[in-house]
Every structure is written in C-alpha cells, then in structure tokens.
Structure 1
Amino acid sequence: MVDIHSHILFGVDDGAETLEESLQLCREAVKLGYKDIVCSSHYKKGKYENKNYAENFKLLKIALKEKRIDINIHPGNEIYLDMDTFFSLDEKKFNTLGDSNYILVEFPRGLLFKVKYSMISSLINKGYKIIIAHIERYPELSKEEILKFKELGVKIQSNISAIPGLLKKDNLLYSENIVDILASDAHNLEYRNYSFHREFILFKTFIGEGKLKILTEDSPREILK
C-alpha cells in the first residue's frame, strides 16, 4: 500500500518528535502492509515552513536503511490554504508529493466554497494537480460542491480513521466513487498512528476488498508515478 498523507517525519511539524518515533511509525506501517509513505508535513506560512525538513528527511532515510525497515519515503507537504499561505506559494518553498505535480491541500474552517474553488482553480492553472485532504472534515461542503471540484480533476482523500463514522452515517463518499484515496494522516505513536485493522475490516465488509485496494494502493501509487 501507499500512504500519501502522513506526518511521520520528525521535528518538522506537530507530528513525530524524534527519529525513533518516526522509525517506530514506519515499523507499524510495514506491519499493516505499506511499502511507500509520503512525509507530508504541514506547510503553513508563518508557522510550518519546512524548517529542518530536508535534513531530517535524509536522516530518516539513512536510518530506515540501517535498521532494515523495508519502506520507501517520499517528500511532500500538506498545504494549509489560508490567504497568507496561498499567496506565498509562488515562492515554491513547499514540496509536491513525491516530486510530482500533485499537491495535498487542506482548508481553514469556515472558508466559503467560492473562495476554496477560486484558489483551487488558480493552482490548477499554474500546472498543479490537487488532492484535497481529509474531506470528512468539511461538513459544510455539499456533495454537489465536492463534485464540482472533481470536475476540475481534483482528487479527494479521506482519512482511514474516519471510515467507521462515515459508513454508519452514509457510504455515498465511497459507493459513488467520490473518494479517490484513503490515507493515514498518522502523526504520532500515542493516538494517531497505524492501528487501522478494525477500519480495514469494516471497509472490506461494506465496500469490498477490491475497492480497498484501489483506494490504498492503485490510486495513490499512480500519483507517485
């Protein structure tokens, strides 16, 4: 499997704090079946600006090889699309996903749809392909509005931890192919990690193993390609 949304890179944002914590998260991911992880640390102007990112990424990559942890890591960011961050993106201090033209974005709460749509359209016009992170966190977005994003070619990501709640409420996000990718959004060992066995069982029961493979392997691997 491929995880395009994680905060396992230590010392960069509110995710892993130490190299050992990063390594342990990778060990957990391997046990679950992951082969590739994008280190999509937060990028927000004035708060998270990739300080230590390049150095710590290299250190983690070396340590994974030394510890013989069989996983590939890739650069990336989760970009917080408030106005300050949006207007700073021309400085190109952020990472695309795996050095592709895909970028992972999240929105501030309460941002009007027309503002969201305008920013996404602008980024697409600049040559980026967009993935919206954890779509379940935006209850203000209607199905019709999400589909308008998809008409632009935007991909929709959902967190694996959201599966139980979404399936209990309704499963339209999955059954109607609105969600393109499932990812971990893993942060730490304590409560946002790779303990997803229950969620995967639920998903297989409601949607099927084939659909799970598309969302956790096929679709995210296409992005890395």
Structure 2
Amino acid sequence: MKQFFKNLFGGDTATLESLGAIGVDMHSHILPGLDDGAETLEHSLELVRAMQQLGYRKLIMTPHVMSDFYRNTPEGIRERLHYLKDAIAEAGIEMELGCAAEYYLDEVFLQKLENNEELLTFGDKHLLFETSFLNEPLNLREAIFMMRSKGYKPVMAHPERYTYFYGKFNDLVELREQGVLLQPNLNSLTGYYSPAAKNVAEKLIDNGLVDLVGSDVHSLKHIAALNRVLSTKYINKLLSLPLLNPQL
C-alpha cells in the first residue's frame, strides 16, 4: 500500500500517520457487499489496511440505508461486521471495528422512528443521516425533532455537499443550534467534491462548527485523496477543534 501512494504522489507516506490524531473514523463504506462501497471481502481488507496506514485505530463503518436502493438491516450489517472481523483477525490486521449506518432521510426512515424500530448508532446514540444533495427535504426539521425526541443525537453527514445550503450558511448554524451535529468529509478540504463544498467545509471550520469528521471512504480512490488532505492549509485548524472522534 505504501508503494501505491509513492507511485501515485512520488513522495514519502510517513506523514499519513498524522491522521492518528483523529483516531476513529465514524463514516465509511468498507463493509463488503452492502452498498456502493467495498464490493468484496478482499476489497474491504485493502481498505482496512489503508486506513491503518493512515493512522486510524478504529473504524465505525456506516453502510447506506435507503428504501429505494440499499435496504440494509441491523442484522445484515452486523453479520458483515463479524465476517470482516474474522477476516482481519486471520490476516493479522490490528484494527478495532464497529458498525452503525448512514440513514437516508425519507418516509421509510421516519416510519422507523415512529415505530421505534432499531436504528444503528455509534457513540452516545449518535445517529448518522444524509439527505438529497440537491433539494432540501420538506420534512428535515420534523425528522430532526423526531430523532431528538426519541433520544438520538442527530449527525448530519457531509453538510458541505448539500447544494441547497449554498448561500444559506446561516441555515447550517441554525441546525447546529437546534442540536444537529455536523460532520464534514475530510476530502472536502482538497476540493475533491467541488470548490463550493471545499468553501463550506472551510467556513464550518473557521466558525468552529465541526463536531465530527469522516473519511466517507468507498474505495482506494478516496484513500488516495486523503493523502492530499495532509497538505491542505485547513487540516491543522480542523485538528485543533474539540472533535468527538477520539472519544468514540
């Protein structure tokens, strides 16, 4: 894996270990065969090894749960977690593994909340959710209220990528004031997704509005991009914030 990075960037990979200050990644798609992330066990093992080299000590993996595409269940996700745990033990990889899920905010998600169905969380009942990238859900505030009323701590995945917030930064400030934790993706700091996402991520950091940070790793392409994060001007400023990741 180190040779992979050297071939790609032409430099030493020792500085990758500085991501060890984050310690715990709480957003990735590394469990095999559940969504648009790792397709096979071998792919998952590659990603776990790469995350280990980046300096992480624990991975809380969060497959998509979407009624139209990825109908994952807590039982199915836990089954793949145990499958991967056995595989890394056999491969001699030292990494603590856990699981949660990234829930898409749709009507089925609201029904799960209403019916008190089991939802996979991490930490102290932190519940990771995402929305459409283009259109703000009409029920966004309702869903947040329901999550909190059920005792969950809602965590909005990659808020910097939602275009409906562009030009409406105060809306993100208001959501956080209402108890929503904000989790930008590390790769946004490189402009990986778009210049606009990079700008919002930096503004969140400038205003101290980042609670958690995630890799959102799906593939080795994302791993490679994380190497560039370490040379961005905002990485040290991000790491100076009281992130919750190391406590998970």
Could you say whether these structures have the same fold, taking a TM-score greater than 0.5 normalized by the shorter chain as the test? yes
Q: Is the 8 A contact 1:50 1:94 kept in 2?
A: no
1:212 matched to which residue of 2? 239
Does 1:32 find its partner at 2:63? no
Aligned in 2, Cα 1:101/1:33: closer, same or farther, shift over 3 Å? same
Q: Is the 8 A contact 2:77 2:99 kept in 1?
A: no
TM-score norm. by structure 1 comes to: 0.86
Give the whole-Å Cα distance in 2 for the aligned partners of 1:188 and 1:118. Answer: 34
2:223 matched to which residue of 1? 193
Q: 2:121 aligns with which of 96, 106, 111?
A: 96
1:139 matched to which residue of 2? 163
- Within a 5 Å distance, the mapping from 1:44-193 to structure 2 comes to 44-50=66-72, 52-89=76-113, 90=115, 92-97=117-122, 100-112=124-136, 115-141=139-165, 142-165=168-191, 169=199, 171-189=202-220, 191-193=221-223
The residue type paired with residue 96 of structure 1 is T
Give the whole-Å Cα distance in 1 for the aligned partners of 2:42 and 2:87. Answer: 9
Aligned in 2, Cα 1:65/1:214: closer, same or farther, shift over 3 Å? farther
Q: What whole-Å deviation, never above 9, does each CA across 1:144-181 have from its counterpart, x for those lacking one?
A: 11111111221101111111236964632111112222
For structure 2, list consecutive stretches of 5 or more residues without a partner in the other structure: 1-22
The residue type paired with residue 181 of structure 1 is L
Give the CA deviation at 1:183.
0.9
Of structures 1 and 2, the one with the larger relative CO (CA 8 A, separation 6+) is: 1
Relative to its length, the structure with more strand (as a share) is 1
* Sequence identity (%): 32
TM-score norm. by structure 2 comes to: 0.78
Aligned in 2, Cα 1:154/1:67: closer, same or farther, shift over 3 Å? same
SS in structure 2 of the partner of residue 122 of structure 1: helix
Aligned length: 216
Cα-Cα RMSD: 2.3
2:28 matched to which residue of 1? 6
For structure 1, list consecutive stretches of 5 or more residues without a partner in the other structure: none
Aligned in 2, Cα 1:65/1:213: closer, same or farther, shift over 3 Å? farther
SS in structure 1 of the partner of residue 78 of structure 2: helix
SS in structure 2 of the partner of residue 192 of structure 1: helix
Give the whole-Å Cα distance in 1 for the aligned partners of 2:213 and 2:198. Answer: 17
Q: Is the 8 A contact 1:9 1:56 kept in 2?
A: yes
Give the CA deviation at 1:22.
0.6
